[in-house]
Every structure is written in C-alpha cells, then in structure tokens.
C-alpha cells in the first residue's frame, strides 16, 4: 500500500474509542445508563446492572458497523439532520438510474 493512501486514511478517519466513533460510544453509554435508571424493577432481570451490561453487545454491534464503514455514524447524523431541518437534501431511498437522478446537497 502506498504511504499516501495510508496518510489519507489516517487523516480522514474519525476519532475512534475502543473501535467505535466517540459520538456513538457516548450515545450507547447514555442510552444504557438512562434505560437502567428508568426501567429498573425489583427482579434480577430488571436490575440496572442488566441494562448497563447490555452496553457491551451493543458496543460489539457498533464495532461491526465501524469495520464496514468508518463514517457510518456521520452519515446517519447528517441524514437525521436533513430530515429535521430542510437545509440538506435527505439521503435518497432509491438508487439513481441516470446522472440526472442523482441528488446533490449543493
């Protein structure tokens, strides 16, 4: 592999923490912590520790998504931003059949 390709990959890859984009890790921890606090019950299966332990399998799934595409969380975040605000065109749902059918955000 050419050193220029390695440098380009290193400069364009997002910051990863434990193999997951930092924003996705923070969202995972926040979601599991809040679910453990709000949905806890008196039984062992509804204890907060079970919800907090669910963060590990979710993290493994996030690692798998990151191994396929480093920028998957950024893509999802921009897609959600485009749906909420009408500043950007949302991601196309169908594949374009010609160059004229390709949507742009410019």
Task: Encode the chain (106 residues) as per-residue pLDDT tens digits.
Answer: 667 777 776 777 777 778 888 888 888 888 888 888 787 777 776 777 787 888 888 888 888 888 887 778 888 887 887 777 766 555 666 666 777 666 665 5
In a domain? residue 65 = yes
Nearest residue to 58 via CA among 81, 92, 84, 24? 24
In a domain? residue 42 = yes
What pLDDT was estimated at residue 19? 80
Place of tokens 């949905």: 39
In a domain? residue 79 = yes
Looking at the DSSP bridge assignments, the partners of residue 20 are: 17
Is residue 73 within 8 A of residue 24, CB to CB? The reply is yes
Q: How many domains does the chain have?
A: 1
In a domain? residue 106 = no
Distance of alpha carbon 25 from alpha carbon 22, whole angstroms: 5
What pLDDT was estimated at residue 105? 53
What pLDDT was estimated at residue 1? 60
In a domain? residue 2 = no
Distant-in-sequence, close-in-space partners of 54: CB < 8 Å, separation ≥ 6: 32, 35
- pTM higher than the cut 0.75: no
Domain span holding position 66: 14-101
In a domain? residue 9 = no
In a domain? residue 78 = yes
What pLDDT was estimated at residue 90? 58
């Amino acid at each position: 592999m050419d050193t220029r390709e390695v440098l380009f990959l290193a400069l364009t890859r997002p910051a990863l923490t434990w193999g997951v984009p930092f924003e996705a890790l923070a969202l995972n921890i926040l979601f599991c912590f809040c679910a453990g606090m709000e949905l806890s019950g008196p039984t062992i299966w509804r204890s907060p520790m079970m919800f907090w332990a669910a963060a590990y399998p979710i993290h493994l799934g996030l690692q798998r998504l990151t191994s396929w595409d480093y920028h998957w969380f950024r893509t999802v975040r921009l897609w959600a931003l485009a749906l909420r605000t009408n500043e950007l065109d949302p991601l196309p749902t169908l594949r374009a059949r010609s160059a004229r059918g390709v949507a742009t955000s410019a």
